[in-house]
Amino acid sequence: MFQLRQLLPSDYPAVISVLNLWWGGRHMTDMLPKLFFHHFHNTSLIMEKEGELVAFLVGFISPACSEEAYIHFVGVHPDYRRQGLAGHLYQRFFDIVSKQGCRTVRCLTSPSNRRSIQFHSRLGFQLIPSRTLLEGIPIHKDYDGPGRDRVLFVKEMD
Amino acid sequence: MFQLRQLLPSDYPAVISVLNLWWGGRHMTDMLPKLFFHHFHNTSLIMEKEGELVAFLVGFISPACSEEAYIHFVGVHPDYRRQGLAGHLYQRFFDIVSKQGCRTVRCLTSPSNRRSIQFHSRLGFQLIPSRTLLEGIPIHKDYDGPGRDRVLFVKEMD
C-alpha cells in the first residue's frame, strides 16, 4: 500500500510545495533549502501511496563524526498521521546508517512540541540533560540562536 | 595579524550574535542552525584578529557524493571587507577538501548579489547554465522553493 524509497534531489519541488501546508500554515521552507536534498539524499527517504507523497525523512551521517547520524526533518501528510509512518521512516533510517557504521542518532525539537517529545521517547531516544527544566523537560536555551530553545535527543543503537 | 583556524561547535554563539549585523540587519540566522557547526566543523573555518571574530566559512564534503564539496555560508566583518579575507578562506577550504579527495566545489547566491557573482567568477567558479537569463546571468528559478531563485556556481579543482 505504501511505497518507501530513497529520496531524490528531483523530489524537492513536490516536498517543498506541501511543507507549509503540512505544518498547518507555519513558514517551514527556510529550514529546508535544496542543499539537504542535493547532498543528503543517500540517507533520506520518501514514502508514497499510489504516487502521492505521504511522508519523508531528511537525515545524514555527520561528516565531522562518522559514527553519528542526524535527522533534520520529518513530515507526514495530515491525512496519514497516527498510523506509524514516521516511526517506520525512523526505523529504516536507523537500519541504513547503522549498516554504514553509525552508533548514535541525534535530532531535536521545540520545547512546545510535546507530541514530538513523546514520539522520540517511545522510539528509544534519550533527552540530553540540561540545568534548565520546563515542566520537567530539559531545555537547551538559545541552542539555535537567541530565543531558539531546543530539546535535544540522542539514541544509541545496538 | 589574522589567525585562521578550524571552526568549533563552541564558536556558534559568537558567530550567530553578529550574523544579522554583518548582513546589514537582514534576518540571516534561520539559514545557519547549529547543526552546521555540530556536523560540519571539520571543514569549516574561523578567522580572528586579536581574539575578535573577523570572518568565517561553513562548508562540508557531500555525504551523497564524496568528490564534491559545498560552501554554505561565508561572512566577513564589515570593517574588514575588501582585504581578500573571503578569498583566503575559500582557498584554504579548497586545500582542505581537495586533500580529502574532492574534485568539485559548489555554492550559490541570490541573483541580486552581483558582487558575490563577480567574487566567485574571480575565484574560478563557473556559472551553471540555465534557460532563464537575467541581464545575462543564468538564473535557476525557484531553486530553493517558490520565489527563491538562485545563481549556481561550480568549480572544478586541479
pLDDT surpassing 90 at residue A71:
yes
**What pLDDT sits at residue A110?**
96
Stretch A75-102: mean pLDDT: 97
**Helices (H) then strands (E): counts for chain B:** 4, 9
pLDDT surpassing 90 at residue B94:
yes
Whether the CB of A145 is below 8 Å from some CB of chain B: the reply is: yes
Whether B39 sits inside 8 A of A33 (CB atoms) is: no
**What pLDDT sits at residue B143?**
97
Whether the CB of B63 is below 8 Å from some CB of chain A: the reply is: yes
| Chain A residue at shortest CA distance from B145 | A16
Backbone dihedral angles phi then psi of residue A149, each to the nearest 5 degrees? -70, 150
pLDDT surpassing 90 at residue B63:
yes
Whether the CB of A41 is below 8 Å from some CB of chain B: the reply is: yes
| 3-class secondary structure, B120 | helix
Whether B16 sits inside 8 A of A146 (CB atoms) is: yes
Runs of H (alpha helix) within A23-74: 35-40
Report the DSSP beta bridge partners of residue A104. A68, A156
Residue B151 burial (C-beta neighbours within 10 Å; 0-12, 13-18, 19+): buried
**What pLDDT sits at residue A23?**
94
Count of A-B CB contacts under 8 Å: 74
pTM of the model: 0.96
Report the DSSP beta bridge partners of residue B104. B68, B156
Stretch B27-35: mean pLDDT: 93
Stretch A136-150: mean pLDDT: 96
Whether B63 sits inside 8 A of A70 (CB atoms) is: no
Closest Cβ opposite residue B63 in set A40, A143, A148: A40
ipTM of the complex: 0.94
**What pLDDT sits at residue B158?**
78
Rounded CA-CA distance B39/A128 in Å is 17
Where in chain B is CATH 3.40.630.30? 1-102
Percent of chain B with pLDDT over 70: 100
- State the amino acid at position B104 in one-letter form: T
**What pLDDT sits at residue A88?**
97
Stretch A3-19: mean pLDDT: 97
* Residue B148 with chain A: CB contacts under 8 Å: 29
**What pLDDT sits at residue B152?**
98
Closest Cβ opposite residue B40 in set A63, A146, A148: A63
Runs of H (alpha helix) within chain B: 12-22, 35-40, 85-99, 114-122
What is the CATH code for B1-102? 3.40.630.30
Could you give the C-alpha distances from B1 to A41, A133, A158, B54, B76, in angstroms and in order? 41, 43, 49, 11, 16
- H-run or E-run covering B5: strand B3-6
| Chain B residue at shortest CA distance from A40 | B64
Whether B43 sits inside 8 A of A63 (CB atoms) is: yes
Stretch A4-32: mean pLDDT: 95
Could you give the C-alpha distances from B28 to A21, B80, B111, B134, in angstroms and in order? 23, 19, 17, 25
Rounded CA-CA distance B60/B33 in Å is 15
The DSSP result for A122-155, as a single string, is HTTPEEPP-S-EETTEE-BTTTTSTT--BEEEEE
Is the separation of the CB atoms in B132 and B150 below 8 Å? Answer: no
